[in-house]
Amino acid sequence: MFLAILAGFLLAFAAPMLYRWLGKWVFVPMALLPFSIFVYLLTLAPAVLNGQNLGELQAWAPSLNINLHFFLDGLSLLFALLITGFGTLIMLYAGGYLKGHPLLGRFYLYLALFMTAMLGLVLAGNIISVFVFWELTSISSYLLIGFGHDKESSRSSALQALLVTGLGGLALMGGMILLGLAGESYTLSELLERGDLVRNHALYLPALVLLLLGAFTKSAQFPFHFWLPNAMAAPTPVSAYLHSATMVKAGVYLLARLTPVMGGTDEWQYTLMLVGGVTTVLGALLATQHTDLKAILAYTTISALGLLVTMTGIGTAPALEAMVVFLLAHALYKGTFFLVAGNVDHATGTRDLTQLSGLSGTMRYTATAALLAGMSMAGLLPFFGFIGKELLYEATLQESPFRWLLFAVSFFSGMVFVAVAIALGFGIFWQRSTRPTPLQHPDKPLLYLPPVILACTGLVFGLLPGFFVTPLLRRAAEAMLGVEQVFELALWHGFNLVLGLSLLTVLLGYVVYRYSNKLLSYASRFNGLYRLGPANLYQLGLNGFLTGATKITATIQNGYLRSYIAAIITAFIALVVLSLSRGGPRLELANRLPELTQLRLYEVVLLMMIIPALIFLFKSRSRLTSIAIMGIIGYSVALFYILFGAPDVAATQLLIETLTVVIFVLILHKLPAFTYLSHASERYKYVLLSLAFGAVMTYVILIVKQYPLDSQLKAYYGQSSYLLGQGRNIVNVILVDFRALDTLGEIVVLAVAAIGIMAMLKLRMQKGDKP
Amino acid sequence: MELILPFLIGILFSASLYLILHRHFFKLILGLILFGLATNLFLFVIGRLTRGGSAIIGPEEKVATEPFADPVPQALLLTAIVIGFGIQAFAIVLIKRVYQSFGTNDLDDMNTTDQIEEKH
C-alpha cells in the first residue's frame, strides 16, 4: 500500500515530463497507474472479504507516535476501489477532454496528486496521516478548480473552496488531536476498539464539534454547501472525479470511519440527521432552480451527500447498509452524468438545459450512457440505483420518532432525482426535436467510453448484486457497525410498501419534470433569500478580513522607524513594570546611602564631564561640535573603565572612539548642512518615553546590585588562566584562548561590515541614481 | 559610586533613546553610538565594580588573588565595543551614501521604497 501511494506521487510529478515525451498519449501511463493499483487492491480483496484487516507500518515520526500506518478493511477497500477504478476512467477521459491543451501535463500532475492523496486518505491507519492526506486533497482540489487560471471566476472559486475546506481542515486537525488525547492513541485500529472510552471522555464534545466541522465543510453540508457549485468552474473530469465521486465523499468517509468511535450518542445522531436532512432538502430544491447541467448535478450531489450524512446519523444497521449501497450507486450514476455533461459541453459548446435537444441522433453512445445512468438515478428496475433507493426508504421507515420526517426528506430528494434524471437522461437526448442542437465535433471514443463503462457497471451491479458487491458492502457496513453483517442485496423484494413508494416517487418525479419550467420561474423570487445565504456571509467575511488586515498592517507597518522603536521600548517598559508589580523584588535604597560617602574626587569629575556634555549635545546645532562632544563622552566612559580595573576595555574604547571621530570628520563634508527637523507635537511624547526608559534601566541595575553575584566563572578564570592558558592577562586569555571561536566570529562580523563599507564607498552609481 | 553610576547609565539611555527617536539620520547615528556606550556601561556595572585590582595575574603568582576585577564582563565588553564600532562605521558610511543617492537625511522621506523610486 505504501508503494502504491509512493508510486502515485512519483508519477504525479513525472506527468509534465511524460507529456513532453508522449504528447497526447500521456493518458496511457496516467491511466495505467490507477488501474494497476485497482488490480492490486482486488488481489487484496479476498482477504478483506474474509474479515481480515490488513495493516502496514512505516515509521515516520515514532517519537510523536505518528506513523505512516496503512489500514485496509471493508470500508477503506470500498473507497479505494472507487477511487482507483474511477481514477482510471477519469484519466482516460481527461486525455480526450483536454486533448491538445498546452497545460495537459500540469493537469495530470494535479489529478494524479489528488488521486494519490485521496487514496492515502482512505488507506491511512493513523489519524494524523488522515489529516495530512486530507489537506493534500484540499490543496490539489484548489489547483484543479483553478486550472483555468486565466479566468477570474475560477480563481475565486478555487480560493473559496480552499478557504472553506481549509478551515474545515484546521478544525479537523484540532478534532483529531483531541480524539487522540481522549482515546490515548492516534492509531485507527486501536481507536476503533476504544469507542466507550472516547464517548465518555470530557473531550468528546469538543472533538466531535471539530471533527464534524471538518467533515461538513469537505462534504459540502449546509451551511458550507456553497463552495461546491462554484467548484464546477473546474474542467469536467475534475468535477466528475473530485466533486461527485471522491473528494466530497471524504467527509462521509470520515464520519463512517469514526462511527464506531464517536457514533451512537445523541449529539452525533441529532446533529447528523439535522444537518444532513437540511442539506438534502436544500440541495434538491436548488437543483430545480438551475438550467446549467453542471449546476444541477452539483446541487443533486449536495442533496445526495446530505442523504448519506443523514443515514450515517441514523446509525442503525439498515441505515448504514443503505448508506454504503447508495454511496456506490450514486458514485456510478452521478459520475456518468458528469462525464455526459462534459461530453455535451465539449461537443455543442453549451451546458444550458434549455438550449439542448435531440442529441441522441448525433451522440448515440453518450446518449445511451445518459439513459442508463438516468434510469439508475431514477431508481428504476433493474439498476443498482433501484436497490439503493429501496434500502433508503426501508431505513428511514424503521421505528423511530422521526420516521415520517426522515422519510419525507428522502422522498422529496428522490422525487427531484427522478425529475433531474428524466431531464438529463431523456429530455436532452431522446425527446423528439425538430431542431437538434448542432455539434461542433462528433462523439469521440475516449470521451464516450468512460461514461458507458460506468453506466454499464451500474446495470451489472443491479442485475448481479450477489457477486462481489454484496460481500464488499457487507464488510464496509461492518466496519461502521463493528458487528458482523449478513444482509443480502436483492433486486426484487416482492410487492410491498417500499416498492409502492418507489413507484409513487417516479410518478411524482415525472410530474415535477413536466412542470419544471414553472418551478424555474420561481427562481427569481428566491433572490432575496440568497442575499442572506452563507455564500454572501462568506463574501462579507472574506472582504472584512482583507480590509481589516490591510488596516492593521498600515497601522503597524507604517514605515516610520521611530514608531517601531517606540513600540519596542514601550513593550519592554510595560513588561518590566508588570513583572515588578507582581511581587518582584523591592528596592531598598535607605541602608545603602552611606556608600555615597566613598565617592572619590576623580569620579565626581568624570560625572561632571558627562552630564554637561549631554546637555551641550542637545543644544548644539553644529555637527562638528556634536561629534566632538561624542568624543568627550566616549573618553570619559573609557576613564571609568580604567578606574574600575578594566585597562583593556579602556584601551579599546579609546581607540574606537578616536576612529569613530576620524571617520565622522572624513565623511562630514559630504553631508548637507544640519537642519533641525522638528516634530513638536510628538516631541513631548518621546521625551516622556525616553525618561521612562532611562528610569527603568536605572531601577533594574539598582535591583540587580542588591543581590550578590553568584558566578563561579570569575574564580575559574582566575585559577586557570595562567595554569591552562599560559597568560597573565585574564581578559586576553579568555578572548584568544578560552573563547577563541567567539573572537573569530567577531572578526568575521567586522570583516563583513568592512566589505559592506567598501561596497558602499566604491560602488559606482547605477543608472537613475543621482551622482 | 555604586549608587551614582546606575543613574548615570539611566541618563545616558534616556538621552540616546531620545536621539534615536529623531527624524534626522545624523541624530539617529549619534543616538546609536550613545546607546552602545550606555549598554556597555550597563553590562560593566551589572558585572560588579572592583576598585583597583585589574584582571591581571601578578608576575610572581600562578593564580589571581583578590581583589581582582571580574574578567568575564570585560571580555564581553571588548567584543561588544568592537562589534559596535563595526555597526557605527557602517551606519556613518550609509548616511553619506543615502544622502548622495536620495538627497535627504530625513528618515520620514525614506519610509517606503516606492516613494524613493518616485523621486527619480
Nearest CA to A164 among A494, A539, A513, A705? A539
B17 contacts in A (CB within 8 Å)? 565, 569, 689-690, 693-694
A568 touches chain B (CB under 8 A): no
- Give the pLDDT score at A766: 55
Q: Rounded mean pLDDT of A372-391?
A: 84
**The pLDDT of residue A113 is above 70:** yes
**The pLDDT of residue A585 is above 80:** no
Helix (H, G, I), strand (E, B) or coil at A56: strand
**The pLDDT of residue A695 is above 90:** yes
**Minimal-distance CA residue of chain B relative to A636:** B37
Contacts with B, A 483-502, CB within 8 Å? none
- Give the pLDDT score at B35: 93
A765 contacts in B (CB within 8 Å)? 100-101
B111, amino acid identity: N
pTM of the model: 0.71
Sign, CA torsion A715/A716/A719/A722: negative
**The pLDDT of residue A677 is above 60:** no
CA angle A156, A162, A164 (to 5 degrees): 100
B24 contacts in A (CB within 8 Å)? 674-677
Q: Rounded mean pLDDT of B108-118?
A: 55
Does B21 contact A634 at a Cβ distance shorter than 8 Å? no
Please give the helix or strand (H or E) that residue A356 lies within, else none: none
Going by pLDDT thresholds of 50, 70 and 90, the confidence category of residue A524 is low
Higher confidence at residue A205 or residue A709?
Answer: A205
B72 contacts in A (CB within 8 Å)? 711, 713-714, 717, 734
**The pLDDT of residue A596 is above 60:** yes
B30 contacts in A (CB within 8 Å)? 617, 626, 630
Q: Could you tell me which residues are beta bridge partners of residue A66?
A: A61
CATH number corresponding to B4-51+68-119 = 1.10.287.3510
Going by pLDDT thresholds of 50, 70 and 90, the confidence category of residue A680 is low
Q: What are phi and psi of A186, to 5 degrees?
A: -105, 5
Sign, CA torsion A692/A695/A701/A702: negative
A674 touches chain B (CB under 8 A): yes
Does the bond joining A401 to the residue before it have cis omega, within 30 degrees of 0?
no
Q: Which grid cell sits at A380?
A: 428504476
Burial environment of residue B2 by CB neighbours within 10 A (0 to 12, 13 to 18, 19 or more): middle
Which of A653, A714, A724, A729 to probe by mutation at the B interface, max B CB count within 10 Å? Answer: A714
- Give the pLDDT score at A744: 93
**The pLDDT of residue A260 is above 70:** yes
Q: How far is it between the farthest Cα atoms of chain B?
A: 70
- Give the pLDDT score at A241: 86
* Percent of chain A whose predicted confidence (pLDDT) is above 90: 12
* Percent of chain A whose predicted confidence (pLDDT) is above 70: 93
pLDDT, tens only, A312-333: 888 888 888 888 888 988 888 8
- Taking only Cα atoms into account, the Rg of chain A, rounded to an integer number of angstroms, comes to 37
User: What one-character DSSP code corresponds to residue A424?
Assistant: I
**What is the number of CB-based contacts under 8 A between chain A and chain B?**
278
B60 touches chain A (CB under 8 A): no
pLDDT, tens only, A6-44: 888 888 888 888 888 887 788 888 888 889 999 998 888
Q: Could you tell me which residues are beta bridge partners of residue B56?
A: A729
**Minimal-distance CA residue of chain A relative to B39:** A697
A439 touches chain B (CB under 8 A): no
CA distance A697 to A633: 19
Lowest average pLDDT, out of A193-197, A398-402, A536-540, A590-594, goes to A590-594
Selecting from A718, A735, A750 the residue whose C-beta is nearest the C-beta of B68 gives A718
Shortest Cα distance, chain A CAs vs residue B34, angstroms: 8
CA distance A71 to A121: 10
Does B79 contact A659 at a Cβ distance shorter than 8 Å? no
Does A693 contact B14 at a Cβ distance shorter than 8 Å? yes
Going by pLDDT thresholds of 50, 70 and 90, the confidence category of residue B118 is very low
- Give the pLDDT score at A441: 76
pLDDT, tens only, A287-309: 887 888 888 888 899 999 999 99
**Minimal-distance CA residue of chain B relative to A604:** B1
pLDDT, tens only, B35-74: 999 999 998 888 877 776 777 787 887 877 777 888 888 8
Lowest average pLDDT, out of A150-164, A589-603, A630-644, B31-45, goes to A589-603
- Give the pLDDT score at B111: 61
Q: How far is it between the farthest Cα atoms of chain A?
A: 117
For chain A, give the mean pLDDT.
Answer: 84
pLDDT, tens only, A565-582: 889 999 999 999 998 888
Nearest CA to A126 among A56, A29, A44? A56
**The pLDDT of residue A171 is above 90:** yes
Please give the helix or strand (H or E) that residue A179 lies within, else none: helix A152-183
Higher confidence at residue A591 or residue A447?
Answer: A447
Going by pLDDT thresholds of 50, 70 and 90, the confidence category of residue A770 is very low
- Give the pLDDT score at A767: 47
Going by pLDDT thresholds of 50, 70 and 90, the confidence category of residue A368 is confident
B39 touches chain A (CB under 8 A): no
Does A679 contact B83 at a Cβ distance shorter than 8 Å? no
- For chain B, the structural domain boundaries read 4-51+68-119
Burial environment of residue B50 by CB neighbours within 10 A (0 to 12, 13 to 18, 19 or more): middle
Q: What is the ipTM of this complex?
A: 0.89
